[in-house]
Amino acid sequence: MIELTLIAFLALAFLHICRRRVFAREGDFFDRSKDEQFAHKWGYADTRFEFDDDRTVHVTGTRYPLCGYQMPYFLPFVEEVLDLPIRPEDMGQEVEHRDLPAPIANAGFLDAVREVLSEDCASQEDHLRLTHSHGQLSVDEVYQILYHRPPERLVDVVLFPEGEADVQQIIHLANAHNAVLVPYGGGTNVSGALVVPPSETRLVASVDMRRMNRVVWLDEANLQACVEAGISGKQLEHALNARGYTSGHDPDSLEFSTLGGWISTNASGMKKNRYGNIEDIVLEAKLVTPTGEVETRHATPRNSTGVQPRSFLFGSEGNLGIITQAIIKIHKQPEAQQFGSLVFPSFEQGVDYLKALRQTGQIPASIRLLNNTEFRFGQALKPAAKGFKKVAQGIQRFFLFKLKGFDPKRVVACTIAMEGNKDEVGQQAKTIFRLAKKYGGISGGASNGKRGYMLTFGIAYIRDFFSQFHILGETFETSVPWTNIHEVIGAVAKTLSALHNKHGIPGKPYLAYRVTQTYHTGVCIYFTMGFCGQGLADAVGVYHEIERALRQEILDHGGSLSHHHGVGKLRRDFLPQIQSENSIAVLRQLKKAMDPNNIFAIGNGAFGN
């Protein structure tokens, strides 16, 4: 009787904790301050992982939920999944690049540009040329620059237009003087799209759009805003929030990526369910090309006016021209914001739940299903629990793993963000948690949901921490039909394991995945893969063989080439498998019509050699 009473008490205590899911209105998801960014790594220079001792780390600064506390579980978890020690003495030393190649000369272009632009709008400083010659592709770009060598070919000059007239002049002069232009937004690209082709012998100018960051006008009656393409997500939300609005676009790179970059890669955000992907948010945009502007006048809710030129912008990846501005939908800031989380016994049950939830029509702004590895990784990033929190965690674990019988090595979690008016959010919450019970789901509490959502903005800092130990890894995403989810995941896991063994790579490979978006016909799966390259004769070469094999497995089992990262140079060799020969030919003819002298010769996607 005493044991039954104790069990009942523990269960009630756990449920009381979990039911705190009607959450207070939340503040910012990201830090709005303007501070120095790392030159080549991700993010802000005041945010990085540091060792407290051999077994404990912390994150400096105050920007993110990860900051300001010791993480005693982090290194032990990583050592467990990689089967390798992580020691301070094994950290690599960053290379200082002093002797970069001299810029290619084109005096006619440079002199003409400096005549039409403001005094500080053109620079050939080496550090700017280097930072504008790469994105955030982990192994090929960031890891190589930090620990090996700079890119084989750098841009020769960096230009900073301050308005559309500047962009038009730059393009006109490049066309007249046979120079190459590369549009540059926030530098967060992960498809190799910013890499300058080594064979390019003409002067290459990076056109940094970030000074074009204004909201041109805001139409509250029609819920539209005209915005310059160089505005970052942080700047856009700051400007719209001040008027009581939001764009709703919330990618992981929100702090740094730009509106033009979102359009050119056909991006997606975490709150897609409520606000749409970027092609749903943008009503119209302007693309300036060497032969003139591509734009449809009068942004209307929908139209039927033949082939729409706006479609040339989405996924254009810098090949056709420069996006200068866009008219976007705006939304009133939500009356209510609520977070939540769910725990399921297995990934399969979580997927079944997501499919059933999609059919109800009560879809939250964001719902993401983490596999067991990602779930445990999130737990490992927490501080050591003390006092009541330690007791509460013990109760939770007892209830989950003892009473409910969940397997710690199979349990998965959903993080949930709901937005809207109070009634709408309340109804969503009822549907979400009631339906979860049918699939074995248990509420994990509001704080875990909020923390899981906000951790997204700190993930790339973790990548850069592990790069110091020559752990090579990257994320890659795909969209798949509902029926292919487990097949794709199984194929990727099997191939990764086989190739890891084939090359005699030390330790174990890391593979984590999550369902980040759901659709009527399927989902987006976001993978994270990595392994330790220490001691391998050609670690980068091995990495590329493995990564390409995993992408091929995804295609062979019904997945897409990309969901939102784009093609760039990283994935362009796969295009013939998903586009007909004539489709590619038509795209190339389109480029010739817009850019007959190949001024935008960055060579991404179908426009590569």
Active site residues per annotation:
526
Neighbours of 108 (CB within 10 A): 14
Tell me the one-letter amino acid at 599. I
Residues 6+ apart with CB under 8 A from 286: 164, 293, 294, 295, 323, 324, 325, 326
Alpha-carbon gap, residue 218 to 299, rounded angstroms: 13
First vs last C-alpha separation in the chain: 76
Alpha-carbon gap, residue 453 to 446, rounded angstroms: 11
Residues 6+ apart with CB under 8 A from 507: 82, 83, 84, 531, 532
| Segment (H or E) for 240 | helix 233-242
| Segment (H or E) for 160 | none
Alpha-carbon gap, residue 590 to 597, rounded angstroms: 13
Cβ atoms of residues 488 and 478 within 8 Å: yes
Cβ atoms of residues 225 and 328 within 8 Å: yes
Alpha-carbon gap, residue 512 to 527, rounded angstroms: 6
Cβ atoms of residues 511 and 496 within 8 Å: yes
Length, in residues, of the chain: 609
Q: In what order do the strands lie in the sheet with 70-71?
A: 49-53, 56-59, 70-71
Strands 224-228, 215-219: pairing is antiparallel
Cβ atoms of residues 368 and 456 within 8 Å: no
Neighbours of 386 (CB within 10 A): 8
Alpha-carbon gap, residue 453 to 301, rounded angstroms: 31
Q: Which residue has the tokens 């995403």?
A: 477
Alpha-carbon gap, residue 536 to 533, rounded angstroms: 6
Measured over all CA atoms, what is the biggest interatomic distance in the chain, rounded to whole angstroms? 92
Neighbours of 313 (CB within 10 A): 25
> CB-side exposure of 220: number of CA atoms within 13 Å?
8
Which ranges of 328-371 would DSSP assign to H, the alpha helix? 347-360
Phi, psi of 261, rounded to the nearest 5 degrees: -65, -40
Strands 204-208, 157-159: pairing is parallel
Cβ atoms of residues 566 and 315 within 8 Å: yes
Tell me the one-letter amino acid at 380. A
